Structure 1
Amino acid sequence: MPPKRKAAAAKPKATAKEDTAAIEQTKEEDTGENGASSTTEPPPKLAKKVSDGLKSMDFSSTSKTEDERAWNFKIASWNVNGVRAWMNKDGLSYLSQEKPDILCIQETKCSQNKLPKELNVDGYKAYWSSAQKEGYAGTGLYTKTEPISVKYGIGIEKHDTEGRVITAEYEKFYLVTAYIPNSGQGLVRLGYRTKEWDQDFMAYMKDLDKKKPVILCGDLNVAHLDIDLTNPKQNKRNAGFTPEERAEFGKLLESGFIDTFRTLYPDKEGVYTFWSNFRQAREKNIGWRLDYFVMSERFKKNLCDSVVRPAVMGSDHCPLVLYLAL
């Protein structure tokens, strides 16, 4: 297992403009039922292709468990911010370079009958869950090993119309990929998020955990700790960093789960998975850690490493990777 690292050196204080960029998450897709959410996916922006720079990246790992077992299983997760836009940016090149056993993607923004045929990949079985509203939410899963079973949603109708959860059962664990609802601008959906969704989703996770260990990955739309975003003081009442959202995530962890990244790197600063599209936030690394690998605490013995890939472009989020010894 990699050693716990010391906290990074203090960064220069952000300017007022940089603070503004950090405060505004601007996750346009998820303004909530009462918000002005677009129902169609915008055309791809002239951003860097996913393939740009991948060939020069080192995807190798020598990570091991605490008892010195080398990793032999890799799961990747990525909020792609629109699967068709992602495809236009050569998104599948990441899959061919990372070569995970499983790739989970969130915010697909595409109904199943409109999924590009090019999304089919040799060697992987794909599963998709779409929202009833076109151009909204949605999740997907690529897997080399066919699961024992696959479930869409969490079994509660009011939560299961947006394609936010896929659960795949494997021999040794359940894998849950989730795109947790955003509380929206003005926190219009905070009550639904924390008093309804978070409560029911935790119960769902705990029920699975009674049967076998659970691995949860995806865009959980919460920065749990102050070091999980650039400017915590300015964001106390912004979606993703309210006390209510953070408390509910804390309750999930306290119920028998761990945040794999913070378990391995409790003091590491400047590690983010989402950056606003405004004011060069990504170039300046003014961001939020909103994407996670969470697992059953008793499965920690299989944990080798939890890695973030900020250099991989193609979305306003970056991929993250879990290394396991099974």
Structure 2
Amino acid sequence: MRIISWNVNGIRACAKKGLLEFVRNHKSDILCLQETKAHLEQCEDPLRNLGFSFANWSSAHRKGYSGVATFSVLKPMGVQCGIDVHAYDCEGRFVISDYGEFELYNIYFPNGGSGEERHHFKQRFLKDLAHHLTPKVTAGKKLIVVGDYNVAHAEIDVFDPVRLSTHSGFLPEEREWFTSFLQLGFVDTFRLYHPNERDKYTWWNYREFARISNRGWRIDYICVSENLRGSLRSAEVMDEIEGSDHCPVAVTLEL
């Protein structure tokens, strides 16, 4: 089974930059998109389902903002578009799909860089997400948590760890949360296969033309619960793919 996750920075904009060709050329069983910035009724075929049998969208109440969508060849047994916290769910940050053998969380984590209020919002989000996931981990559920985490975990995951240590997305408390998240019982799939690989990033600042010189951050992840570690076969950062300020990430599992 192949799972791809990509923050497309606007699904309609990305469609003009090769999204459909990407989907055709890079087959997956499940495709998770973040920051779709669209409601379903604003999109025409084939953007509504991208050629997949099943599509589930969660859009922000505010048009042109946030949003996630999960496309799959597998029929989910159940789908939730939130964690029953209105402040998060109204921003279209979750699609949670139950595929029977595992649950897949497609999440667009908040960006805390636009002021103190959003910083605190992000901190609450991280805390509440861990609180939500803890009983599922304890119960032995098989979980896959994909998306734009808006947090880089380690110094190896950013181009300039000293300068960026005061920037949202690489603050000590955010990195500590990521460590505690992994300790809760999750595996950073890319680092499992590439523990020491440097200069592998998933986001570059458009305004600084950072991609040209690869001044990036690795903030997009596919993490799996420890009970799926043995099912993993590969994990990659698809940094050759353009079309967004992020690149896709992917894993292959044998289930």
Distance 1:207 1:93, change over 3 A: farther
Q: Which has the higher contact order (CA 8 A, sep 6+)?
A: 1
C-alpha distance in 2 between matches for 1:215 and 1:82: 23
The offset of 1:304, in angstroms, is 0.9
Other-structure match for 2:218: 289
Whether the 8 Å CA contact 1:79–1:319 is kept in 2: the answer is yes
Higher strand residue share: 2
| TM norm structure 1 | 0.75
Decide whether the 8 Å contact of 2:23 with 2:50 is kept in 1.
Answer: no
For residues 124-157 of structure 1, the C-alpha deviation after alignment (integer angstroms, 9 at most, x for no partner) is 3111000011111000011001111111111112
1:15-94 equivalences under 5 Å are 73-94=1-22
Match of 1:313 in 2: 242
Equivalent residues, number: 253
Equivalent position to 1:197, from 119, 125, 148:
125
AA of the residue aligned to 1:314:
G
Deviation at 1:186, TM superposition (A): 4.3
User: Is the 2:4–2:250 contact (alpha carbons within 8 Å) kept by the matching residues of 1?
Assistant: yes
The structure 1 residue matched to 2:102, chosen from 161, 166, 173, is 173
Q: Indicate if the aligned counterparts of 1:165 and 1:179 stay in contact, CA closer than 8 A.
A: yes
* CA offset digits 1:249-272 (Å, max 9, x no partner): 111111111111112222111000
- CA distance in 2 between counterparts of 1:273 and 1:158 reads 27
Match of 2:74 among 122, 128, 145: 145
CA contact (8 A) 1:179 1:219 kept: yes
Closer, same or farther in 2 for the Cα pair 1:111/1:245, shift >3 Å?
Answer: same
State which drifts further: 101-110 or 271-280. Answer: 271-280
177-186 or 96-105, which deviates more: 177-186
Structure 1: 5+ residue stretches without partners = 1-72
Confirm or deny: 8 A CA contact 2:153 2:175 kept in the other structure: yes
* SS of alignment partner, residue 128 of structure 1: strand
Task: Kindly provide the CA deviation profile for residues 84-124 of structure 1, in whole angstroms up to 9, marking residues without a partner as x.
Answer: 10112231211111110000000001123212333133343
Contact 1:130 1:138 in 2 (8 A): yes
Q: Bigger CA drift: 132-141 or 259-268?
A: 259-268
